[in-house]
Structure 1
Amino acid sequence: MHSPFVNSHPCSILLFNLILFILFYNSTAAIKLPPDETYPAIFVFGDSTVDTGNNNNRYPPPSRSNYPPYGNDFKGKVATGRFSNGKVPLDMIVEELEIKDLLPAYMDPNLQPQDLITNVCFTSGGAGYDPLTSKLASTWSLSDQLGMLKEYIVRLQGIVGANRTNFILTRSLYVISLSSCDIANVYFGPTSQRYEYDFASYTDLMLKYATQFLKEIYSLGARRIGVHGALPIGCVPS
């Protein structure tokens, strides 16, 4: 029997286990939250570790995974744009929280209004904290993903009203999974960043952009925020 992570994105198991620990460290079972604790929705920002198909709808085409053998262990053996043979970690998290079975991509043209109430994925494979990372990959940058969140808030207000929107925004979980592409594709890639910065100063640059982003989503209502650091770059084939 296939594991949902066999041949999946490198290090996905590490990300999944870390998020499970963050969410459920003080509960006795994976799907049991502490009393009076709820997550009405989950919002995800990041790169290919958590992209659920946004890149399928990006032009000019960035890195995509909407073709075999991706999706080999997904329901119906369909390649959905997830950089995995099955689900990505956040799909499993929303299922564990009993919110829904899958995390929908915000840019999916088939996204339904009811999907906006529970959770959406703003991620884009190839993105990074450094704007140059997304530019080189022709993908949606972190700034673009922030713009999606702002657009989402306006759409959600039109569906459930301002008061319910504020409740969802402040009580929901925000997950950010970025930085691996910055390091692997830009700093150690064919760019000048490696010559303009030593590694410590480049990570300081990434931290500056990360801090700006966190302040922005906090100003929009985010209070429960989980930030995942760089995955082990040695797992990346390149």
Structure 2
Amino acid sequence: MYVFMYICSLERDLASRKLQLQENEKLLGIMAFGDSILDTGNNNNLISLIKCNFPPYGQDFIGGKPTGRFCNGKVLTDLIAEGLGVKETVPAYFDPNLQSKDLATGVCFASGGAGLDPLTSSITSVIPISEQLENFREYIRKLEGLVGEEGANKIISNSLFLLLIKYDISTYTSMLVSWTSTIIKDLYEVGVRKIAIFSTLPLGCLPILRTLHGGLMRSCGDDDNKAAELFNSKLLAEMKNLSSFLPQAKIVYVDIYNPLLDLINNPVKSGFSVPDRSCCGTGTIETSVLCNQLIPFTCDNVSEFVFWDSAHPSEKAYMIIASPILQDLKKNF
């Protein structure tokens, strides 16, 4: 009886959401694949050093508690879901408190530290993209158990899929683009039709890479940024190519390289005063990617910092970047 009532309620909710989709151009769900920029907590129970389920992470999140998001607050996955009217936050697929009802509106499969190259994920002991896709197939089976095959197909085809990886790029940008293309084809084969593929960041301007490659002045690393630009140009070309022979798919390339670079180069315009160091870390010199759990150092006013830790933007930076992204996604989806 309970199961019957739950499914009926879920079907009514889906019907209402379908009507909203027609009238307000809203989507049924949000799914995210990639790394720490989108991860909402999948690394929490892994035996890995790449996790952030400890203070001061999450100090500005709902309830002020760390959730495994690599930020002081919400990450892009949450902000896009909220901005598109799907839901306020997107739970991690491996969240032990995940509810069955959450499956119908989307979950996050991303894992901080994951890369397109399987070796990257192996070294950091996180969830590689290939395994994220397997988890998504498992998710489909669970969803079919709740709403049936037809209902699951409707949810998947009317959900937006986010794919973002802070690529570890050097000389094999073409290979990385090829792997990205294969991932999109795999998603297409299981019914995915709406995909937003994000560019990589201005890697050379991340605080950790300023310290490693920026010299005494900690300037942005030109070689790192040029590699990122090369990858992004190849990725954009491949997305255009994919769109031509996957006719039922809507693939949108989302540029976050230039918006973030603008915040870094023109911080005062957006209310920032510190674009080259992170709020949370070890002090004035960036010596590690994540905040120090044992001896945390956190700035007094995170809203003045473009970066929360040495590899991830602050929630305020994400919110500014998300604004034009949402406009673009609303226009295309």
- Please tell me the TM-score bracket, short chain as reference: 0.7 to 0.9
Query: Would you say 1:70 and 2:57 are equivalent positions?
Result: yes
Going from structure 1 to structure 2, the CA distance change for 1:133 and 1:153 (only over 3 Å counts) comes to same
Aligned residue for 2:32? 44
Ranked by relative contact order (alpha carbons within 8 Å, sequence separation 6 or more), the top structure is 1
SS of residue in 2 equivalent to 1:76? helix
Query: Would you say 1:141 and 2:128 are equivalent positions?
Result: yes
What amino acid maps onto 2:178 in structure 1? K
Structure 1 CA distance for aligned equivalents of residues 21 and 129 of structure 2: 30
Structure 2 CA distance for aligned equivalents of residues 52 and 217 of structure 1: 21
State the shift of 1:212 in Å. 1.2
Query: Would you say 1:99 and 2:83 are equivalent positions?
Result: no
State the shift of 1:172 in Å. 0.9
Aligned residue for 1:182? 168
Higher-Rg member (1/2): 2
What amino acid maps onto 1:147 in structure 2? E
2:177 to 207, 211, 218: 207
TM-score in terms of structure 1 length: 0.75
Unaligned runs of 5+ in 2: 1-19, 209-333
Structure 2 CA distance for aligned equivalents of residues 221 and 112 of structure 1: 23
Aligned residue for 1:218? 188
CA contact (8 A) 2:78 2:90 kept: yes
What amino acid maps onto 1:211 in structure 2? S
Deviation per CA, 1:20-51, whole angstroms, max 9, x where unpaired?
Answer: xxxxxxxxxxxx98846331011100100011
TM-score in terms of structure 2 length: 0.55
CA contact (8 A) 2:42 2:111 kept: yes
State the shift of 1:225 in Å. 0.5
Structure 2 CA distance for aligned equivalents of residues 150 and 235 of structure 1: 36
Matches within 5 A, 1:1-238: 35=23, 37-58=25-46, 60-178=47-165, 180-183=166-169, 187=170, 199=171, 202-238=172-208
CA contact (8 A) 2:26 2:85 kept: no
State the shift of 1:57 in Å. 2.0
State the shift of 1:231 in Å. 0.6
**Percent identity (aligned):** 47
CA contact (8 A) 1:127 1:181 kept: no
State the shift of 1:96 in Å. 1.6
CA contact (8 A) 1:124 1:141 kept: yes
* Two-structure CA RMSD over aligned residues (Å): 1.6
What amino acid maps onto 1:140 in structure 2? I
Structure 1 CA distance for aligned equivalents of residues 62 and 29 of structure 2: 23
Structure 2 CA distance for aligned equivalents of residues 177 and 213 of structure 1: 12
State the shift of 1:65 in Å. 0.8
Going from structure 1 to structure 2, the CA distance change for 1:42 and 1:236 (only over 3 Å counts) comes to same
Structure 1 CA distance for aligned equivalents of residues 205 and 55 of structure 2: 21
CA contact (8 A) 2:92 2:107 kept: yes
What amino acid maps onto 1:79 in structure 2? P
Structure 1 CA distance for aligned equivalents of residues 22 and 152 of structure 2: 23
CA contact (8 A) 2:21 2:28 kept: no
How many residue pairs get matched? Answer: 189
Unaligned runs of 5+ in 1: 1-31, 188-198
Displacement over 4 Å in runs of 4+: 32-36
Deviation per CA, 1:46-68, whole angstroms, max 9, x where unpaired?
Answer: 1000110000022x224011111
